[in-house]
Structure 1
Amino acid sequence: MTFSICVREEYTDEEGDEQTRFGVAVTTRLAAVGTLCPFVSENGAVATQSRVNVDLGRRGIDYVDDGLAVEDALQSLLDADDGKAERQLHGVDADGEFAFSGGECGEWFGHEVGDDYTVAGNLLTGADVLTATATAYEEGRDGDAPLAERLIDALEAGHAAGGDKRTELEVQSAALLVATTEDRPADPYYDDLRVDATETPIEDLRETYELARESYEQALARAAERADDEDERSGEEPDGGES
């Protein structure tokens, strides 16, 4: 089921504490890929695809959350899966990466493992799709843009390089998920996005991201204004008071 990317990034939060964030993004020439392929938590990111077994992704991220290394978690699930030859399964945790492509996935298929990320795809126009996806991510990961935005950039690069070869299928979809170890007052709206049925999945995912980011920033601004108003009111003397 097309191509995806899983990433791990270490960063320093506003308090000066070291944190880790994980992200996964995927696109395909079928509807509702976000219900099937991407899984993320504050401990890792996993993508299950090709002849999809959703249980591999769901249980994989659960195992990682329980403390099992991503390689051990995903390999153990594959070893117990009778359909292993038709599966693609990859992901990252706090310490490592894992990627698997069964020999019976649809041509062209393959995967790449980089420093702190994995990419994989099947039924693609060629290896250039994965290379473009990985390169775009590597070039953008030191920038200031949120991870969600950079994951869309990576998908866009892979799509531009050829993407899914099934051009006869008009309905497409895309999705992204991001999670972090940081304890935030509110998770950004743009860290959990899906475009379930469209002919322009990456363009629509980016538009959804931009609208979600704008809404999130507006919500933060309104919260700050309310806090300022409350501070002003708390500093007022009651009627008849002396100063």
Structure 2
Amino acid sequence: MTVSLCVREPYRVDGDRQFRFGVVAAAAVPGIGALSPVVSSDGAAAMGGHIDDTLGNRLSRYLADGVAIDDAVEALLGAEDVASRRGRQLHGVGRSSCVTVSGRDCVAAADRDGDHYTAAGTHLPNEAALDAMVDRYTGAAFGDDPLAERLIDALTAAREVGIDSRRGDSDSDGPLTVGSAAVRVVTTESTDDRRFYNDLRVDASESPITDLETTYNAALLGYEQTVDAYGEPDAPSSP
């Protein structure tokens, strides 16, 4: 149903440590951007499997209260009944830790974790999609391009391998043809300008990842046009 990547990128501005948190996700059903990505200045997480639309808000509150993300996820899932917990996939990164959980009832599920990222998916034809996504991201991690752009590129690498056996396209005869994709990036650095390209969704499309990339390019152009027309209050490092 869902493939997703969560990342944490620390950096410094004027000697102060800052963080970029980001999530990119795609699904073979509409509306994944409204449910799966959970991103704040305290961390980034994504959900798959049986998604509870209240789980993200509760996780965000835990993180805002200073609870480590692995402890927060353990507490949230531990409070659920066994049947619900077995159907959950939840992964993410906080300021100092990461977590990956794939319940035993998640179909064709897999996950990955590193120092500053986690990746996961369900209904995967194989695990090569996760490896391709992680390899593409880690090859460009902490790069000069905006994080949102690098996340979308990583998602594109997963799509090129194949991310959902139920999706109907040129490579599969699955029953689902309409999917969705989303990217969201939050930085702890205080800025006076809104970066339009950091929070984008394609809610229903037969080519959601391609459309997300197109939407990102348009949003980046719109941001650059706005800066050219009205100026930029500050010149912070690129998120």
TM-score (norm 2): 0.90
Q: Secondary structure at the match of 1:10?
A: strand
Cα separation, 1, equivalents of 2:122 and 2:129: 10
Q: Which residue of 2 aligns with 1:88?
A: 89
Superposition deviation, residue 159 in structure 1: 1.0
Q: Given the alignment of the two structures, is residue 186 of structure 1 paired with residue 227 of structure 2, yes or no?
A: no
Structure label with greater radius of gyration: 1
Aligned positions of 1:65-214 closer than 5 A: 65-82=64-81, 83-106=84-107, 108-167=108-167, 168-214=175-221
TM-score (norm 1): 0.89
Task: Give 1:102's aligned amino acid.
Answer: G
Cα separation, 2, equivalents of 1:225 and 1:144: 19
Equivalent residues of 1:46, 1:61 under 8 A apart: no
Runs of 4+ in 1 over 2 A off after TM superposition: 15-18
Q: Which residue of 1 aligns with 2:172?
A: none
Cα separation, 1, equivalents of 2:187 and 2:142: 17
Instruction: Report the aligned-residue RMSD.
Output: 1.4
Superposition deviation, residue 24 in structure 1: 0.6
Task: Give 1:210's aligned amino acid.
Answer: N
Q: Secondary structure at the match of 1:54?
A: coil
Listed as ranges, the gaps of 5+ residues in structure 2 are 168-174, 234-239
Q: Which residue of 1 aligns with 2:171?
A: none
Q: Which residue of 1 aligns with 2:229?
A: 222
Superposition deviation, residue 225 in structure 1: 9.2
Superposition deviation, residue 99 in structure 1: 0.6
Cα separation, 2, equivalents of 1:42 and 1:215: 24
Task: Give 1:190's aligned amino acid.
Answer: Y
Of the structure 1 ranges 185-194 and 53-62, higher mean CA displacement relative to structure 2 is found in 53-62
Listed as ranges, the gaps of 5+ residues in structure 1 are 227-243
Task: Give 1:35's aligned amino acid.
Answer: A
Task: Give 1:90's aligned amino acid.
Answer: H
Equivalent residues of 1:23, 1:40 under 8 A apart: yes
Report % sequence identity.
44
Report the number of matched residues: 224
Cα separation, 2, equivalents of 1:195 and 1:89: 21
